[in-house]
Structure 1
Amino acid sequence: MGSLSAVAADANPVVDDYSPYFRVYKDGSVERLRAEEHTPASLDPRTGVESKDIAISAVVSARIYLPPDGGDSGRKLPLVLYFRGGGFCVLSAASPVLHAHLNALAAASSVIVLSVDYRRAPEHSIPVPYDDSWAALHWAASHSAGLAEIDFDFSPESWLVEHADFDKVYLAGDSAGGNIAHNLAMRAATLPLPGGVKLAGIVLLEPYFWGTRPTASAAAADPVKRARLDRLWRVVCPASEAGNDDPLVNPLAARAPSLAVLGCGRVLVCTAERDAMRDWAWMYYEALRESGWRGESEIYEAAGEDHGFYLHRPDGDCAALLLKRIAAFLA
């Protein structure tokens, strides 16, 4: 007879191993394998961007960034709601790599950034990250009418009231965050936002789009990375019957709604030459242009780079060029 620990392991085996980040067990429990790093909100001496953490609801928080030209100029600034990547599963609004990236983005683009800390899968599976992100967008848009006219469940944010231009509201995100930005723009096509706020555009940084269709970029990727991508949607959305051809992860699937209804006026898709999801970004861009959607679309590819290069090497030339392209789009 085996030991008690061996018997317990046999009764509740690991069904998904995403080491070194987490494991999922047969009973649905999740074991986080390492503590997340956190960087406090602060005045960034390098960029002059100021940040602070705020509560949006009982379960959703955010970190907001104000560029140095936002406080004294008197002019209103574009507002970018940013959704982090990490496969819906790792990182937070306080992660050092994300914090540095958004300080740089706010400074380069002269925009207010609201970095949404949605609840993470697998503990909170899809659609929770979408619903949390939509709640943050709804809350932000509520500021468009001014403090006196809105009954907030949670405290309003003075930086939004004083400095945000609600005629220039954008959604942006990297990887899984790009997936969220797309799906929220689809939702915004049919669900009105407070104050009649409309989305000006979305920025999709290496968006997490996937499917069963073979692609050259997936075939060229590291086999371990490709296998994890093949399994990821089942981990974050176990209730999905369509798997990797769920329209939420594959916007080109047969049952996906037409991209013609995308609820914004402009789209910037950014990808990288060596990214396993590169071809999906290009197919999305081309399908959007052919769908009958009446907006303006752009695509940018970073030569020689892989997924997340702007997070891992933020001081590199390619990261600087990417920020410049995003800043031009948001101007």
Structure 2
Amino acid sequence: MEKPTKKGVAPPMAWRTRLSILAAGCLTDATCRADGTINRRLLNFLDPHVPPSAAPRNGVASRDVVVDPAIPLRARLFYPCPSGGGGGTGDATKPLPVVVFFHGGGFAFLSAASRAYDAACRRIARYAGAAVLSVDYRRSPEHRYPTPYDDGLAALRFLDDRLAGLIAIQPFFGGEERTPAELRLVGAPIVSVPRTDWLWRAFLPPGADRTHEAAHAASPAGAAGIDSPAFPPATVVIGGYDPLQDWQRRYCETLRGKGKAVRVLDYPDAIHAFYIFPEFAEARDLMLRIKDIVAGGGGEH
């Protein structure tokens, strides 16, 4: 009788992709200091900023805007060009829906001008035929909780419009316990328990642990406000090779427990942050799903 094959910690992938993912992990590890700070000079060298482009690139132009000059808080605005093809409507007079994008990086790394997120936002704008406002929120450990959240709220107020929907792509949650996925996927790409532990220590208020409301979204404090009528229908994206997936599923259960509409997009063979690697089939599928969600106005599930 054959023994069942043990599932690894990453799906099969091309060697170029594997090298890119390995480099991303090395970037974070190389710039984290033991004292809880980040070597920003080295990080800026390893993650050089991509300038905005008034001339369309892949059918999408971009420019940097000031959201709040008092902070100062900036964002990068991406918008599809009618002649660019792709996912746009081709009608320059038609108002565009707006996707407000908060980039990944554990609240500490990367930016709206990072190459990976500049390219990802261009793809979203092109596929969805939408403007994308990528918020360049302030990062920890220099700016701990609640500063990045405050910057996100400032960006929403800048638009001064209602939220039609929420797309949470592998959201960053955690807790003091180690979940089955965290224990099973030791050594998974991009995300690991030592990395996330370091990020939470850098982000949370001094003295707080991972039961804090900003980390533990399924806790009563973390769920505060979800039952507001203003909280929109949610789509939560989960990857089968993401160590954070159990926390993300608990978040979905919390939303449902509050009577909220929740759609789960489950990608069994996806790693954390898969959507910034366009060579993955799941990345293209997600772009098409985002296009459908935006076209439906964020709508009920």
TM over 0.5: yes
Which segment drifts farther, 278-287 or 117-126?
278-287
Once residues 207 and 129 of structure 1 are traced to their aligned partners in structure 2, the CA distance between those partners, rounded to angstroms, is 14
| Mapped pair 1:203 → 2:162 | no
Deviation for aligned residue 1:256: 3.2
Q: Within 1, Cα distance between the matches of 2:30 and 2:166?
A: 32
- Residues in 2 aligned to 1:198 and 1:235: alpha-carbon distance in whole angstroms: 32
Per-residue Cα deviation, 1:49-87 (whole angstroms, up to 9, x for no partner)? 111111222311111011124784322221111111111
Q: Which residue of 2 aligns with 1:45?
A: 57
SS at match of 1:285: helix
Q: Structure 1 length as normaliser, TM-score?
A: 0.71
Structure with higher strand content: 1
The alpha-carbon distance between structure 1 residues 77 and 240, as it changes in their structure 2 partners (threshold 3 A), is farther
Task: Label 1:229 to 1:116 Cα distance change in 2 as closer, same or farther (>3 A).
Answer: same
- Matched AA of 1:251: A
> Structure 1's 30 and 324: CA in aligned 2 closer, same or farther, altered over 3 A?
closer
Q: Which amino acid aligns with 1:22?
A: C
User: Residues of 1 paired with 2:163 and 2:207: CA distance?
Assistant: 28
1:277 aligns with 2:244: yes
Counterpart selection for 1:98 from 111, 117, 121: 117
Is the aligned partner of 1:55 residue 2:66? yes
- Give the 3-state SS of the residue equivalent to 1:264 in structure 2: coil
Measured against aligned partners, the alpha-carbon deviations of 1:173-229 in whole angstroms (never above 9, x if no partner) come to xxxxxxxxxxxxxxxxxxxxxxxx321111100000111243221111225811221
Check conservation: 1:118, 1:132, Cα contact below 8 A: yes
Q: What is the DSSP-based 3-state SS (H/G/I as helix, E as strand, rest coil) of the residue aligned with 1:300? A: strand
**Larger-gyration structure (1/2):** 1
Q: One-letter code of the match for 1:319?
A: A
Return 5+ residue gaps in structure 2 as ranges. 1-27, 83-88, 296-301
TM-score for the superposition, normalised by structure 2: 0.77
- Structure 1 stretches lacking a partner, 5+ long: 1-17, 142-196
Contact 2:168 2:237 in 1 (8 A): yes
Q: What is the aligned counterpart of 2:202 among 235, 260, 276?
A: 235
Task: Give the C-alpha shift of residue 132 in structure 1.
Answer: 1.5
1:314 counterpart = 2:278: yes
* Alpha-carbon contact 1:44-1:103 (below 8 Å) kept: no
Correspondence for 1:23: 33
CA contact (8 A) 2:31 2:38 kept: no
Partner of 1:139: 158
Give 3-state SS (helix, strand or coil) of 1:244's partner: coil
The CA deviation at 1:260 is 2.3
Q: Distance in 1 between matches of 2:182 and 2:52?
A: 37
Superposed counterparts of 1:137-216, under 5 Å: 137-141=156-160, 197-216=161-180
- Going from structure 1 to structure 2, the CA distance change for 1:139 and 1:255 (only over 3 Å counts) comes to closer
Q: Which residue is equivalent to 1:65?
A: 78
Q: Distance in 2 between matches of 1:115 and 1:82?
A: 5
Counterpart of 1:246 (choices 212, 235, 238) is 212
Deviation at 1:246, TM superposition (A): 0.9
Q: Residue by residue, what CA displacement relative to the aligned partner does 1:114-152 show, whole Å, maximum 9, x if unpaired?
A: 0010111111111111112211221221xxxxxxxxxxx
Return the offset for 1:317.
1.3
Counterpart residue identity of residue 238, structure 2: T
User: Which has the higher relative contact order, 1 or 2, with Cα contacts under 8 A spaced 6 or more apart?
Assistant: 2
